[in-house]
Amino acid sequence: MTRATCERDRLAVVVGSSEAANAIGMLLENGLLDKRRKIVRRGGMVEIPVLKEVAGMQIVEQSSPEHYLKMPELSDLLDGAIPAHLRDLLPRGWFILGDTIIVRIHQELSEHKRMIGDALLRLYPRCRCVLADQGVRGQFREPCREVIAGTPGETIHRENGVLFKLDPMRIMFSQGNVKERMRMASLGKGETVVDMFAGIGYFSLPMAVHSRPSRITAIEINPVAHRYLVENIRLNRVEDIINPVLGDCAVLTPEGEADRVIMGMVGITERYLRKGIEALRPGGVLHYHQNVPAWQYPDALVRPPVHAAALLGRAAKPIGCHKIKKYAPGIVHGVADIRVY
């Protein structure tokens, strides 16, 4: 092993304790977190192991890095149990939501799915259930999932200091949106905010917990999601900030009182642009989510809200665009930040 390789195996970003969760999320999202080594706390600071130097962040070379024991691979646990010609189809990734593992199983492995579920529970003994994910359905985008191991039920997912209670069999929670949830946590301080498709509080809760707006009106039409929204407001002790509203945001969105409006739905979002824009005070910011062809990003994302504002006699200026995740081949989920005058 070369000296340069040795040094890379010791590199760590140093941040304060209050910044650690955000830093870990950013490093993980960008593939810079060294998962072989443990995160270490020293005297109020946190050392986060990284694979290389990160621009703009303080770096140290650890004198005694702490390594994890190597976890077995899923394929190791299933060696001899899965036909050799199917081993390459085994899942290479999964999402842990609270104490529930969510995984996609290739259709050619369907007769082995319960064996795969049991193996995943052996890999993660703190988890109690494995769900095979098969997409979403219906008006409320409810998950299509099958229990393949363990006992399903409600769980509490912790992310960036925020608690999300939900039933993974009935409620979606996108791992790919973590960066945007963290970004929302840094916005809205002292503002009046309207969250038009609030769900269980995906964006309202991080904003309320970390930025403390004066008020968030969180509107959700799905009664199951709304029930969890109410419970999550209580769990995170932000009852004084978030007002949960059950119903259709096409009817219940207030007019002319918001400094910031979140439109965190995709697919149907364009139909509600008029309501989102009318909710804003002059100079307010609209966060408009939509799926667009990758080759047309960001123009196809920015055009609808700017056009809708013009039809209402208001000027609109794009102030930022962010890719959230790949939605499908050639399609990206993005969010446009639009200031409306």
Q: Could you tell me the CA-to-CA distances from 265 to 66, 115, 178, 231 in Å, in that order?
A: 42, 36, 15, 21
For residue 113, pLDDT over 60 is answered with yes
Class of domain 3-61: alpha beta
Angle of CA points 254, 277, 275, to nearest 5°: 50
Rounded Cα gap, residues 280 and 254, in angstroms: 9
Q: CATH for 176-340?
A: 3.40.50.150
For residue 71, pLDDT over 80 is answered with no
For residue 7, pLDDT over 70 is answered with no
Tell me the torsion sign for CA atoms 49, 186, 290, 241: positive
Rounded Cα gap, residues 294 and 279, in angstroms: 29
For residue 75, pLDDT over 90 is answered with no
pTM of the complete model? 0.81
Contacts with 186 (C-beta within 8 Å, 6 or more apart), sequence order: 210, 211
Model confidence band, residue 6 (pLDDT cutoffs 50, 70, 90):
very low
Sheet holding 11-16, edge to edge: 40-42, 45-49, 11-16, 59-61
Write the pLDDT tens digit of every residue in 198-230.
999 999 999 999 999 999 999 999 999 999 999
Chain-wide mean pLDDT for the chain?
91
For residue 309, pLDDT over 90 is answered with yes
The CA R_g of the chain, rounded to the nearest whole Å, is 22
Number of other residues whose CB lies within 10 A of the CB of residue 285: 21
Indicate the domain borders of the chain: 3-61, 74-153, 176-340
Token pair 């997409």 is at which residue?
135
Confidence at residue 135, expressed as pLDDT on a 0 to 100 scale: 86
For residue 5, pLDDT over 80 is answered with no
Q: Could you tell me the CA-to-CA distances from 10 to 79, 208, 232 in Å, in that order?
A: 33, 37, 39
Write the pLDDT tens digit of every residue in 144-158.
999 999 999 999 998
Q: The domain 74-153 is classified under which CATH number: 3.40.50.150, 3.40.50.880, 3.30.300.110, 3.30.70.2190?
A: 3.30.300.110
